[in-house]
């Protein structure tokens, strides 16, 4: 029935700050940055990997009312959204060290979990994500 997932999203309160974090700290690339007037469509992806983008979405109008946007921003900042996305790497320890040196906040150091070595981090807004080196 389905062939793939082509886009998912994370809520961010500031798209310029999100762009800086996701591109300059995590090393992702911009796949789209379009001003639609009422909203900005800003997506990033793993460099060279087409077909799987993350929308850096600012909660609020036009997708929802401002009060709902405020509630979502508050929940995200508390980390209440739980796991938002996962990234894979060939060397979790090296990736962890590189990103930590760039100022990425980790809440879980690289640990062997059987399925692979993984660690957990947060973006500046509270979104939690995982980085995994899959077991061979």
**How far does Cα 124 stand from its chain's mean position?**
10
CB within 8 Å of 96: residues ≥ 6 apart: 106, 109, 110, 119, 131
Q: Which two tokens stand for residue 47?
A: 């460099």
Q: How confident is the model at residue 76 (pLDDT cuts 50, 70, 90)?
A: very high
Give pLDDT tens digits for 15-39.
999 999 999 999 999 999 999 999 9
Give pLDDT tens digits for 59-74.
999 999 999 999 999 9
From first CA to last CA, the distance across the chain in angstroms is 29
Instruction: Tokens 């879980």: give the residue.
Output: 108
Structural domains in the chain, CATH included, are 7-134 (3.10.180.10)
Task: Give dist(CA 71, CA 123) in Å, integer.
Answer: 18
| pLDDT for position 50 | 85
Q: How confident is the model at residue 12 (pLDDT cuts 50, 70, 90)?
A: very high
Is 54 a residue whose pLDDT tops 90? Answer: yes
Is the CB of residue 42 less than 8 Å from the CB of residue 9? no
| pLDDT for position 1 | 83
């Amino acid at each position: 029935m389905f062939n793939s997932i082509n886009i998912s999203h994370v809520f961010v309160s500031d798209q310029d700050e999100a762009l800086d974090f996701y591109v300059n700290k995590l090393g992702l690339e911009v796949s789209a940055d379009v001003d639609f007037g009422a909203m900005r469509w800003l997506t990033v992806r793993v460099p060279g990997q087409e077909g799987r983008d993350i929308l850096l979405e600012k909660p609020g109008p036009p997708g929802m009312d401002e009060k709902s946007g405020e509630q979502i921003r508050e929940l995200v900042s508390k980390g209440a959204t739980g796991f938002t996305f996962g990234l894979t790497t060939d060397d979790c320890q090296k990736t962890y060290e590189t990103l930590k040196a760039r100022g990425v906040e980790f809440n879980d150091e690289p640990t062997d979990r059987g399925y692979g070595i993984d660690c957990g981090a947060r973006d500046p807004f509270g979104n939690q994500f995982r980085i995994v080196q899959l077991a061979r």
